[in-house]
Structure 1
């Protein structure tokens, strides 16, 4: 369940793995770009969301780098080569962010570090307060909302500014910029992040390349892989198939409603049977 042999798959899932960290290079918020001005462009956002927008806008002009921003602490890191993208050849030499690394950094500056993980994890975070479908377009969105793209698995995420604009780390060979929101293709919708309060049933995972399953059994179909530690919401837990991994044996499994999947409690930080979590029917 947690092996090093899936390294290439892990890189693809993350858009790169973390490397050396460095302090962010401050830039001037509201820096004009070819696509427009980076700032909060509409009223109504929470103070946390406005701080996240400001933090992302400070990074205008910083390199996109595949895997950038996923170090132990939020901030730019050197990237990795994406085997499927020739434009990423120089990413190991570039200090910057990938799309989810930028989102993580922005919300870490505003509210701790609530959005670890890749774009898919961020879109399904237990810190999501409200969801918006692709059909709703930008009408109900506020600055700081996260726009996402992907069919099935989310592969890109950006921060809404208002007025049909967003700030994003888009792809290798480009720099963080303001763009027009793209509602075509595989646009999946948007989410609003809640203020920094502890969501009920929120726990942290640990380990690398940890798979969730459709049923509480390792022989049931795999659903989603956590390349590294992330925050999840647990709805309930139950005793099911005993699992031995990482030197532990446990028959407790937890249900993750955002993923529609089960994870062995071995990879959830806490007691073998989690305190304060109800038993599944």
Structure 2
């Protein structure tokens, strides 16, 4: 059995974090997506924000950030796993003391944290505007709680599938399917009766968009669902659990592929 070094996970995580954070595509993509978001007037300084309490405004800003940015998030993470094969360093990494599990988990944690940085900076800019505009510093702790409950579970869910799925799927194919899934499973509009316009996971606790947490925890009415705090917790737990399952499945596939060689 291979001896594991104590710093293997931390070393893999640190390397992947720095490498992902230095990608020009990371920053350019999020700037473009942010401009698209603001062009849709989903910003704290438009009529969209009038008459709202600070907690509701913060929760609505969390949902606005969750509208398009997870698409860029998933696309930018999808090529991280196949990169080791394309650069022909996978065989070299297998000779190191770090186990496959540590490298895989370190890749997930490092690249996910790095890709979260531009999203959080965009989010923080909106929160700073809310706090300054309303003269209420309570917006800051509220925003941290909103990001942790509304945004983060869905983003971790997306990251787990984006990193793991490319163990078996061609990256461009996964990216195409993911974009289609995001609109189909999260953003399908409702019909006049309040139902979905087609069969979809949208408006269920399986959606990573965060509406159940926004309505259940913060009471915002800018959602297509009405949820209790318990339903919000159920949605969070389900997203995190499915993400963990996706990671474990990806790890098992990688083990199988290595043993088959």
TM-score range with shorter-chain normalisation?
Answer: under 0.3
Q: If the length of structure 1 is used for normalisation, what is the TM-score? A: 0.26
- TM-score (norm: length of structure 2): 0.27
